[in-house]
Amino acid sequence: MTDIQDVKTLVTELEALSSGNSKIKSFKQDYTINSHSIVRWKFNEYNYYSKTKLPISSRGLFIDNDESKICIRGYDKFFNIDEVFNTKMANLKENTKGPYNVTIKENGCILFASGLKDGTLLVSSKNNLYVPDIADENKKIISKDHAKEGYTQILKLFKNDTERLKNFALELYNQNLTAVFELCDDSFEEHVIAYDSQENAGLYLHGLNKNSIQFETLPMKNVYDFADKYDFKKVDSFEYETFDKLFEFLNSEETDNTYKGKEIEGYVIRCFQKDTSNDFFFKFKFEEPYLLYRQLREVTTEYIKTRERVYFFKKNKKITNMYLDYVIPILENDPKLCEDYNVHRKGTIKLRTDFFRQAGLLNENTNTLNLKLLAELYDTVEKLPIDKNTKYIIVPVSILGLGKTTFTSCLMNLYPKSISTVSSDLCQQRKNNIPTLMNSALKLLHDGYKVVIFDRNNHLPVHRDLILKEFAEQKEKIFPHDTNIQLIALPFVDLQSLTQKRQKALENILKRGDNHPTIKADNFGVKGVTGILNRFVREFK
């Protein structure tokens, strides 16, 4: 149980972090509700990843200044498996204990409800407390935000019974609890998974937290009893006694992105720290199809904003391009849809589902995306066969003076219709010319050449990373989705042979004299050439 002095000490620490120059910085927001002074505290999201211990790790924290009491307390920030040190597999196995309660991770926005001693109901999101407009006699909700929507839905669920609302708030206050909900309702705001019917849309109660500095949450049985008492929706859960049994389930081939025929985002695992028995949460999230869903939403939003098609995708390239081919004509002819999509976040799910349906990618029985078909589509472009239609960009890894240009010229003379080159030395843009060279290389391939040699030293990893990045960004603008272009590294030197080949490179540079676009050996002299060469040798990686 957190006493008043503990909360005062916490507030002092938070106040110090709000005004100092520490890497950890807290932020506060003051509210007044029925004459109560309530303060919201929060940190930047990245602070939760810091090795520096926070005064409190709650995401969602509101303190009643009048009583020096925590009045709303969210979960401690929890992470995906392998996302941080504490959730590395070895650490989870070593430092946690069961039972491991597995709850379905519903896909909405998190909300909190608690009460004051006078029966005032508090409803908040992580960052915002709903304050009724006291000037409005009808207590209408006047601004559109998540906390207000949560309050509205509770009031609606209680059939506008203000006495029940007060009893609900008093029970939370007297038990020193915060009720934790997921607001899932497409009529208010769409996320990734559909909640579009009376059966599945609403407020899901998934936690009852003690309003204490140390994270303490009640068992799911208590949560279910509380949900039944007040008619909230419940999240499904099940339990494993041991870590090994838990991961036998999570790693099973039968574990996919559905639960009882419904798409789910993943699972939240609730367990205990082995040394302290304190509550500890971590999560198991499915990468697909939610990475794809978010990507489709992002490229749609970007197109509506800029009217420019996005070409660079790290994954799901083919299906995203197919989707854009489908959706751009629709967006161009439906301004209302564009407004709903970007302003009101409506139409996201219908648009992508219509696309999946016409592409033949939906499961017939559940109307959900067929991941097997998605994987097959992924394989057709991500694992394109190397055949007679494949094109190549050869990327030397070298220092100057080892014959890259001579090698390139020989190949071009032997195969003038098949092989071409782009040269850094001949590029008018001397610095940061990789994007320009890549554009020229891709255009040469598009014009019919089979191979283009990227005549450049590329002696640093940052150069090679940029080549890969520019290739990924520019290829889709010039070629169809299913064109296979392979990038092949061609080392002229490695770390083992660097010292030996340095001498040969110096001899070659001096021998050719001024017969080079940029390194004029006769003009620079031995000392000048040696200095340039030594810099390349030192930097080579």
Q: What is the pLDDT of residues 341-382, one digit of tens each?
A: 988 889 999 999 999 999 999 988 777 888 888 888 776 666
Say what the pLDDT of residue 125 is: 96
Per residue in 487-536, pLDDT (tens digit) is 999 998 887 777 777 777 776 666 665 655 556 555 565 666 676 676 77
Mean pLDDT of the chain: 89
Please check the confidence at residue 90 and state whether its pLDDT lies above 50: yes
Residue 168 in tokens: 């609900």
Please check the confidence at residue 139 and state whether its pLDDT lies above 50: no
When pLDDT is averaged across residues 12-27 and rounded to a whole number, the result is: 88
- Tell me, yes or no, if 105 is annotated catalytic: yes
When pLDDT is averaged across residues 428-453 and rounded to a whole number, the result is: 88
Per residue in 290-304, pLDDT (tens digit) is 999 999 999 999 999
Say what the pLDDT of residue 85 is: 95
Say what the pLDDT of residue 535 is: 77
User: Left (φ > 0), alpha (ψ -120 to 50) or beta: where does 448 sit?
Assistant: left
Q: Whole-angstrom distance between the N-terminal and C-terminal Cα of the chain?
A: 57
Say what the pLDDT of residue 79 is: 97
User: Left (φ > 0), alpha (ψ -120 to 50) or beta: where does 139 sit?
Assistant: left
Please check the confidence at residue 404 and state whether its pLDDT lies above 90: no
Per residue in 162-184, pLDDT (tens digit) is 999 999 999 999 999 999 999 99
Per residue in 244-265, pLDDT (tens digit) is 999 999 998 667 888 888 889 9
pTM: 0.76
Structural domains in the chain, sorted by start: 4-285 (3.30.470.30), 290-382 (no CATH), 391-496 (3.40.50.300)
CB 43 within 8 A of CB 54: yes
When pLDDT is averaged across residues 382-387 and rounded to a whole number, the result is: 78
Please check the confidence at residue 21 and state whether its pLDDT lies above 50: yes
Instruction: Compute the distance between CA of residue 518 and CA of residue 507 in angstroms, rounded to an integer.
Output: 17
Closest CA to 114 of 189, 58, 192: 58
The residue annotated as part of the active site, out of 42, 77, 105, 148, is: 105
Would you call the peptide bond into 289 cis, given omega within 30 degrees of 0 as the criterion?
A: yes
Instruction: Compute the distance between CA of residue 127 and CA of residue 430 in angstroms, rounded to an integer.
Output: 49
pLDDT class of 78 with cuts at 50, 70, 90: very high
